[in-house]
A and B are shown apart, each in its own frame.
Chain A
């Protein structure tokens, strides 16, 4: 099945986020690789995803899970060769699956040759590729992102006896984007991969590209200029490719990253995600509707990207202190689960392995406006291991079957890059793809089904959203519309049965058709439309006027 050629393919996409290292090991060294991933593309095709987003696979000392890059134009030898990657790309495209890769523009590893050169002396030709200072007082007031490990945004370089700027770990010095040489070089890097056939980039940490004294060094206009320039080049030379922004900001501050449709195509809607979890615990739709109502309109060619969990902690940066305390108390009672203003747990453990809650959250993910991203393993309800440091607890090997190393690798278990999840509830003998394929009502089959329903109409990816405001605050209800198609989504956020009356007067005369079973429901009349829902239940209705 070839790729569709729609320039706006990303609006209808279902994205699967995966790290090569975690998926499948083909050569028995205990680390997942490209050929292994290629072997598992059938599984992904069956699941119904239309794009995969690969975590960084560049050469790297791996002190920040690959986001500290030491060579931009090849792949880490643990995962295979560049040729392996090329083959993967081809196989994916044959199955109609696009490939999104990471690109870290803001910083490199301190092991990168560029930095090694830059720090060697103050006169080196690449000195100016990074941001240096004799004191650590410049750009005061800029917030520290990795609060748990870093005390300052300046690090002392003993080699050149000066400070260098780093918004992330101290071993990830920031590139100096004021330098035209840096800009040219980074475009060349991007071009390298685009030429190979990569469909999209997730540009990491874009708000922090530029620094200016007297500002918070985030979201500066100069940064936007750079990004627009990159987009122009992409549009000119590689039409149909996509740029996805990783910018953990409030919606109003995110809006500029879309420009007028001339900057990023997509951006993650970070603030929505913790509010979905909050709404679920509060049993109140208010946090969810409020954030979406405050979300600004974006250009028609742009798209939000929605997700429930990812490789990072469930970030609570974009919530108030009161909300953060609430989330901590509700979802991360143990302090070891908390990291950097976030919670480092997978989806299933966060939801207490409650199948209904998992379904409800996925239902919202698939029906709210934006392109959904599924984190690998969440489609089978994998668990986590918080005792692994940093955020590695959510990056354990994919569980394919209940046998040797869960089918991930033939190596000795001690050689695996990370131990498997083994507890009786989430361990691989209990939670794995093979078992779920056998079981008719497994989470895997359910995910396949909902993805199929989602893809059956363009309304979810491309339609508008209008919230209904039933008096029962436990019900989140909204209408998705595109052209003549209208879909009504009703979600019960509470764990108890609920009744709700919806004001559907404008749709009087429409028959409701429930989209999973295709059964007809009563027609909308003059009276408020009464629906009853079981705990955590949701409905998708197509509205049809006969």
Chain B
């Protein structure tokens, strides 16, 4: 395995601007040399959680890939709480004999600071560049806040690439049926309907990718587009789909539950829906011709849904929907068609008992947003922000429909929504072409 039998095509670095890797980091990369496995860890002030995460990563590497040459690359956004030291502290070398750890080889864990701050894509870019320079065959990006991380996750994400030749491994989780509703109600169905690929978690906080895919994405992605980098992970997924790479899913375990506040919905929308909408433009030749959708190979179990009761203040959701529809009317007039807007205004006036945001209306809403985004009828960021209250209404309906549902029933409902997205795809195409 150490023989030079593998190299991504175009082993020369395709970075336009190589100076974004610091001299010191390059020197560290020289010392690491060629590796088989690379684990990338983007961080920014994660000292509370990163210690156990990185220890688990190390266990995962030692258990799953004891003979392989591995490295942990930490791309840090300028932490002030000692995060980088926690990461580099898990390296295994002969300078600090770690008595109870049994390891065949040296394991380097190196850290560098990237420019641009969180959300700029700088972390991923650094990791991809390191992967290309070190000619890593199988790589993995892990979230520093993965509280439920298990050592097996490392194998689950890397083995399909290392052993079975896949290029992208998306995670699936065990999560509550009401967790991740943006994924189940928008991202997953829309991605599936438009790109024809059934990837449950397209927005990837942790994922595995091959050196091939990494190199290509590093070269082709325009890294200087500033704010567009929010959601660069989603663009990686899309690049894998449009590039015809082999994609699979792997079951990991329970997803961590981070306390979130309402401002995070807008941020989440920007990172996912925003990225998706802007990608639709460039990927038009592909998604316009795709019909139906195909599942991707999945290893491990299927994703699971937890059903324990959860406290949700549904009333507020519906109220915010109604408020949003009322207050943002001027904005919606630029974005939505008159019939859709009228329909939304109608349901906004309904009481809590009768309120229902049907799937078909939701799909049309989303598609009209996508079309308006493309035309930039108003500032694109404002379009994304305007989606938030409508999403809340949809969440309300989903909560009501699935209040007492079993896991199978929830899955069926999601499936139904997906089919609705697929069915209305011509509507989107028509809107897309009409204002040409």
Contact = CB atoms under 8 A, between A and B. Distances in A.
A333 interface: no
Secondary structure type dominating chain A contacts? mixed
A286 B106 contact: yes
Interface stretch (A46-54, A144-152, A379-387, A466-474): A466-474
Given A293-B94, A326-B67, A472 B104 contact: no
A472 B31 contact: yes
Interface in A203-223: none
Nearest to A283: B2
Contacts of A473: 31, 33, 93-94, 105-106, 108
A285 interface: yes
B312 interface: no
A527 interface: no
B33 A498 contact: yes
Contacts of A469: 93-95
B97 interface: yes
Interface in B1-57: 2, 4, 27-28, 30-31, 33-34
A351 B2 CA distance: 15
A290 B27 CA distance: 25
A452 B364 CA distance: 87
Contacts of A293: 94, 97
A237 to B, nearest CB: 44
Contacts of B104: 278, 282, 284, 286-287, 322-323, 326
Interface in A276-327: 278, 281-287, 289-290, 293-294, 320, 322-323, 326
B105 A289 contact: no
B30 A285 contact: no
Interface string B391-411: 000000000000000000000
Contacts of A467: 94
A252 interface: no
A470 B94 contact: no
B284 interface: no
Contacts of A286: 92-94, 103-106
Contacts of B106: 284-286, 473
A517 to B, nearest CB: 27
A322 B31 contact: no
Interface in B78-118: 92-95, 97, 102-106, 108
A285 B31 CA distance: 13
Contacts of A294: 97
A467 B102 CA distance: 21
A471 B97 contact: no
Contacts of A281: 2
A108 interface: no
A7 interface: no
B30 A472 contact: yes
B287 to A, nearest CB: 44
B66 interface: yes
B94 A289 contact: yes
A472 B33 contact: yes
Contacts of B31: 470-473, 500
Contacts, number: 64
Contacts of B67: 282, 326
Nearest to B106: A473
> Which bucket holds chain A's interface residue count?
20 to 34
Nearest to A472: B31
Contacts of A320: 102
Contacts of B33: 472-474, 494, 496, 498
> Which bucket holds chain B's interface residue count?
20 to 34
Contacts of A287: 104
Nearest to B66: A322
A453 interface: no
Nearest to B105: A284
A82 interface: no
Give the interface centre of B93, B106, B108 by most chain A CB atoms within 10 Å.
B106
A499 interface: yes
A194 to B, nearest CB: 42
A320 B27 CA distance: 33
Contacts of A284: 69, 104-106
B244 to A, nearest CB: 33
Nearest to B28: A471
Nearest to B96: A469
Given A320-B102, A323-B104, A499 B94 contact: no
B4 to A, nearest CB: 8
A282 B94 contact: no
Contacts of B94: 285-286, 289-290, 293, 467, 469, 473
A74 B152 CA distance: 64
A284 to B, nearest CB: 5
A446 to B, nearest CB: 26
Contacts of A472: 30-31, 33
Interface in A239-295: 278, 281-287, 289-290, 293-294
Contacts of B92: 286
B3 to A, nearest CB: 8
A360 to B, nearest CB: 15
Nearest to A471: B31
B108 to A, nearest CB: 7
A286 to B, nearest CB: 5
B30 A499 contact: yes
A469 B69 CA distance: 18
A282 B93 contact: no
Contacts of B105: 282, 284, 286, 473
Contacts of A474: 33
Contacts of B102: 320, 322
Contacts of B4: 496
A322 B104 CA distance: 8
A500 B30 CA distance: 9
A529 to B, nearest CB: 14
A444 B32 CA distance: 36
A281 B1 CA distance: 10
A28 to B, nearest CB: 48
Contacts of A498: 33
A248 to B, nearest CB: 21
B136 to A, nearest CB: 16
A474 B31 CA distance: 8
Contacts of A278: 104
A472 B102 CA distance: 20
A294 B30 CA distance: 28
Contacts of A496: 4, 33-34
B273 to A, nearest CB: 44
A323 to B, nearest CB: 7
Nearest to A288: B94
Contacts of A470: 31
A536 to B, nearest CB: 13
Contacts of B66: 322
A470 B2 CA distance: 21
Nearest to A469: B95
A503 to B, nearest CB: 11
Interface string A463-483: 000010111111000000000
Contacts of B95: 469
20 contacts: A278-B104, A281-B2, A284-B105, A286-B103, A286-B105, A286-B106, A289-B94, A290-B94, A293-B97, A322-B66, A322-B104, A326-B67, A469-B95, A471-B108, A472-B30, A473-B33, A473-B93, A473-B94, A494-B2, A495-B2
Given A283-B69, A471-B31, 15 more contacts: A278-B104, A282-B2, A282-B105, A284-B69, A285-B106, A286-B103, A286-B104, A290-B94, A294-B97, A323-B104, A326-B104, A471-B28, A473-B94, A495-B2, A496-B34
Q: Which 7 A-B pairs have the closest CB atoms?
A: A471-B31, A473-B106, A289-B94, A472-B31, A469-B95, A284-B105, A286-B106
